[in-house]
Structure 1
């Protein structure tokens, strides 16, 4: 069987044409992974997966993330969900561990910037939709890097960025309390190369709202450069905006794509179920930087 898909934009996003039975059977998993990496985001309509089916699809594509992680502020565990399926909702009754942080999802980000090995991919399907808004946008950081002039690529290849929770959340909640800011500040920081040299040979920008500053650069210059790169990477030609319908499944390559949830009505019951695939390679600096450091 040949995989059938339609490009949603020239640079990112494909709609995969596949039956639910064939998807769950897993025989096309290798081809789906290849399409995912090539196109950044893959969507499938009219599947209506339940949680066990979502797990099945996830396991066919990679290593399903399970278990819990410690919360830095008080040492309590954050549950990754029931058997690897996390309910993504701003309602603390639905998602008691993460709801108070999820407002940050409205800003451009990649997941796992505080980890040495970020997640490979995310599978996302709606359970309840918002009345207004709530689309999800994706931006290719592969394409954004590839279109930069060669001299600028060389300059960026040698830079490192520190990622922090307060950088990720404060822009989305400027009226936070000192106590909230203190909780965000209690989370560990992580330094990553600004450019990721993937094992495949491709390079992508490691961009996220969590990027707080560039190491060794004046604060003002660092701010301006990160802001300019974010504007560059989120141009229309690098993005795809998905308008959700019940039954949809979206899968995106977290290692080369940023995403964001567009605003929706206050008090919304919007709820999605998410599976995360564990990372498969650490963020590695381009060879130029490695050679200079040796």
Structure 2
């Protein structure tokens, strides 16, 4: 007589409104049996932390593929190296300076990535180099009803070039033109998801709210960012070697917290292809 067994997700909540620690074994995670439960937990909690799970690159890729369609970033499909060290990542180190400020990935794409998975190979010294996360589903849900009604149909121009001024207030014209050449896109301030849930679309790529006075536009963008990144809706992860963190790119913002670019901090990233376009009516 056969006995059917189902692997159960082992979870601890990090904070009331953001984050879960997943305590299952590497073997359980790689089996794929937990994929559905992990997807549900990710949407509900914004980020999932796998403490010191110690995936190598092949295992990280295999685990990513259990959760959805793998979004290969390079020609060889290997995880991307995420570091500000120009010796390790000369092409991306300049662009990654924008990652030190709150943002959502893919604001210029038709369909943003669903999620990113980041594993720690070399942490920065303690007290630096954390990664911060903000649950923009929870931040929207907690807004007063009058604010929800006010922001419901607002549209915002997003462009990677807007983030340039966060880390280089006086860029050259050539650099500005180069960043502007990457593209820009009008997005909803409130993303109405196919699931019925709503999240705020914010971050350093925001330039202005359409059809709103420029002073009021700035107050809306920065005020909502301040709200969404308050203690209630955020979590700062202090990395240890072997940690893996997944975040829902459709309902969170994230940022790297400052560290010495020469300290050797190294993360490896994989991604899941997006499944839902920005909701533009």
Please give the range of the TM-score, normalised by the shorter of the 2 chains. Answer: over 0.9
Query: Which one of the candidate residues 172, 193, 198 is aligned to 1:198?
Result: 193
Give the Cα–Cα distance (whole angstroms) in 2 for the partners of residues 60 and 121 of structure 1: 13
Give the Cα–Cα distance (whole angstroms) in 2 for the partners of residues 188 and 180 of structure 1: 14
Query: Which one of the candidate residues 108, 112, 115 is aligned to 1:118?
Result: 112
- Corresponding residue for residue 38 of structure 2: 32
Query: Which one of the candidate residues 82, 95, 105 is aligned to 1:88?
Result: 82
Consecutive unaligned residues of structure 1, counting only runs of 5 or more, are 68-79
Consecutive unaligned residues of structure 2, counting only runs of 5 or more, are 1-6
- Kept in 1, the 8 Å contact 2:83–2:261? The answer is no
Aligned residue pairs, count: 274
Q: Please list the CA deviations of residues 24-50 of structure 1 after superposition, one character each: whole Å capped at 9, or x if unmatched.
A: 111111101111111000001121111
- TM-score if structure 2 supplies the norm length? 0.94
- Kept in 2, the 8 Å contact 1:64–1:84? The answer is no
- Corresponding residue for residue 184 of structure 1: 179
Q: Please list the CA deviations of residues 154-205 of structure 1 after superposition, one character each: whole Å capped at 9, or x if unmatched.
A: 1211111110112122112224333322211222111111111111110000
1:258 counterpart = 2:242: no
Q: How does 1:16-31 map to 2 (within 5 A)?
A: 16-31=22-37
Q: How does 1:153-232 map to 2 (within 5 A)?
A: 153-232=148-227
- Kept in 2, the 8 Å contact 1:12–1:239? The answer is yes
Give the Cα–Cα distance (whole angstroms) in 1 for the partners of residues 78 and 143 of structure 2: 38
Q: Please list the CA deviations of residues 86-114 of structure 1 after superposition, one character each: whole Å capped at 9, or x if unmatched.
A: 11111233223322110111100010001
Give the Cα–Cα distance (whole angstroms) in 1 for the partners of residues 193 and 67 of structure 2: 18
Give the Cα–Cα distance (whole angstroms) in 2 for the partners of residues 170 and 187 of structure 1: 15
Q: Secondary structure at the match of 2:277?
A: coil
- TM-score if structure 1 supplies the norm length? 0.90
Q: Secondary structure at the match of 2:8?
A: coil
Q: Secondary structure at the match of 1:95?
A: coil
- Kept in 2, the 8 Å contact 1:139–1:238? The answer is yes
- Kept in 2, the 8 Å contact 1:15–1:42? The answer is yes
Give the Cα–Cα distance (whole angstroms) in 2 for the partners of residues 140 and 225 of structure 1: 18
- Corresponding residue for residue 63 of structure 2: 57
Query: Which one of the candidate residues 128, 132, 140 is aligned to 1:137?
Result: 132
- Corresponding residue for residue 3 of structure 2: none
The ranges of structure 1 where at least 4 consecutive aligned residues each deviate by more than 6 angstroms after the TM superposition are: none
How far apart are residue 266 of structure 1 and its match?
Answer: 4.1
Q: How does 1:252-291 map to 2 (within 5 A)?
A: 252-285=247-280, 290=281
